[in-house]
């Protein structure tokens, strides 16, 4: 039976009819990268074309680690401490990681992967790391207290393979591991497109400890930028071929001492001052007001549209710098 013209037009022009032809919203994805031990003044003074391409005009800011000096949140500017402050959105007085031994982490403060899997177990997760403890101790992947298995794919542990990567005093083996970690991250991201990924690269910190400030550190930063470029290329490929909205976040875990650039761990300005690079075009004012490393977790959650349990949300020390 033929509909009267006015009924036919009403159906065709109704909101419900319009929604059926609207393309689906892009699927949000996040990959965050920690490049170890590069102070803000160094990253700002070295040519980093890939980081520059990612940040564009608005996606770079200085930030800080170490909590609030003299207050309960004051935290050592040490690697594992910085990683876990990012992963949990809290400072050491909560997550209980005070050094690189990671002896008694408090898994009651959920990491971002646990939050993601709690929100939606089907979300695909991955870790690519030059340090095995990132997965086994900080994330506690597979431990009941830490939320059980949270990672669908991991590529790590190569620092323990002394046959393939014989240890040398100059830490060239770490550079070689960083390179294969970045290669695998780029390959896996382009092919599989996981929803949430963490990449950790170490070589720049080893160079800092050995040489401090100088040409060796500059070369290490440029090497790291090249590794980032591989991953950025994979992200762009995904965005061109899939209906996906990727947020890439790159940061470091601590600065270095002002005297030589070899040490870190204290509360001096240069040790506390870090940086964040992102391709996000949805940044709010907090991003430009010296955010903290603990602000990264809520920003990832916001982009992925994760529902954080109320009791976990209440424990966070950070706030989102994306809308």
**Going residue by residue through the chain (323 aa), what tens digit of pLDDT does each one get?**
344 443 333 434 444 444 467 889 999 999 999 999 999 999 999 999 999 999 999 999 999 999 999 999 999 999 999 999 999 999 999 999 999 999 999 999 999 999 999 999 999 999 999 999 999 999 999 999 999 999 999 999 999 999 999 999 899 999 999 999 999 999 999 999 999 999 999 999 999 999 999 999 999 999 999 999 999 999 999 999 999 999 999 999 999 999 999 999 999 999 999 999 999 999 999 999 999 999 999 999 999 999 999 999 999 999 999 99
**C-alpha distances in Å from residue 320, one per residue of 62, 297, 300, 317:** 15, 8, 8, 10
**Predicted model pTM:** 0.93
* Three-class DSSP labels, 204-260: HHHHHHHHCCCHHHHHHHHHHHHHHHHHHHHHHHHHHHCCEEEEEEEECCCCCCCCC
The kind and range of the H/E element at 185 are helix 172-192
**What local confidence, expressed as pLDDT, does residue 21 receive?**
78
The encoded tokens of residue 44 equal 């700002």
| Separate counts of helices (H) and strands (E) for the chain | 14, 7
Look at residue 154 in the predicted model and tell me its pLDDT: 98
Q: How many CA atoms lie within 13 A of 183 on its CB side?
A: 6
Q: Give me the residues paired with residue 244 across strands.
A: 27
The vertex-33 CA angle with 32 and 34, nearest 5°, equals 130
Question: Which pLDDT does position 20 carry in this prediction?
Answer: 62
CATH class, domain 27-315, is: alpha beta
pLDDT the model gives residue 196: 99
Q: What is the rounded distance in angstroms from the CA atom of residue 128 to the CA atom of residue 151? A: 11
The residues, ordered by sequence, that sit 6+ positions from 78 with a Cβ below 8 Å of its Cβ are 98, 99, 100, 254, 264, 265
Phi, psi of 315 (to 5 degrees): -85, -15
């Amino acid at each position: 039976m033929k509909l009267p013209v006015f009924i036919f037009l009403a159906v065709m022009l109704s909101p419900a009819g319009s929604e059926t032809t609207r393309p689906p919203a892009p699927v949000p994805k996040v990959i965050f990268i920690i490049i170890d031990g590069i102070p803000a003044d160094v990253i700002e003074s070295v040519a980093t074309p890939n980081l520059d391409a990612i940040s564009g005009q608005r996606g770079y800011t200085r930030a800080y680690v170490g909590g609030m000096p003299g207050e309960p949140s004051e935290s050592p500017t040490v690697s594992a401490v910085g990683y876990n402050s990012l992963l949990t959105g809290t400072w050491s007085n909560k997550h209980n990681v005070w050094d690189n031994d990671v002896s008694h982490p408090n898994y009651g403060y959920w990491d971002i992967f646990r939050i993601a899997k709690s929100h939606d177990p089907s979300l695909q997760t991955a870790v690519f790391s030059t340090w095995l403890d990132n997965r086994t101790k900080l994330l506690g992947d597979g431990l009941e207290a830490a939320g059980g298995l949270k990672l669908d794919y991991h590529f790590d542990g190569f620092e323990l393979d002394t046959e393939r990567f014989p240890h040398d005093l100059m830490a060239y083996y770490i550079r070689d591991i960083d390179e294969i970690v970045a290669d695998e991250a780029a390959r896996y991201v382009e092919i599989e497109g996981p929803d949430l990924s963490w990449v950790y690269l170490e070589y720049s910190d080893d160079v800092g400890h050995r040489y401090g400030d100088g040409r060796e550190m500059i070369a290490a930063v440029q090497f790291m930028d090249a590794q980032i470029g591989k991953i950025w290329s994979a992200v762009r490929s995904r965005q061109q071929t899939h209906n996906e909205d990727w947020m890439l976040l790159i940061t470091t875990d601590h600065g270095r001492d002002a005297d030589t650039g070899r040490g870190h761990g204290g509360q001096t300005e240069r040790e506390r001052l870090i940086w964040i690079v992102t391709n996000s075009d949805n940044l709010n004012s907090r991003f430009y007001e010296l955010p903290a490393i603990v602000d990264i977790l809520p920003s990832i959650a916001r982009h992925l549209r994760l529902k954080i349990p109320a009791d976990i949300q209440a424990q966070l020390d950070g706030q989102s710098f994306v809308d």
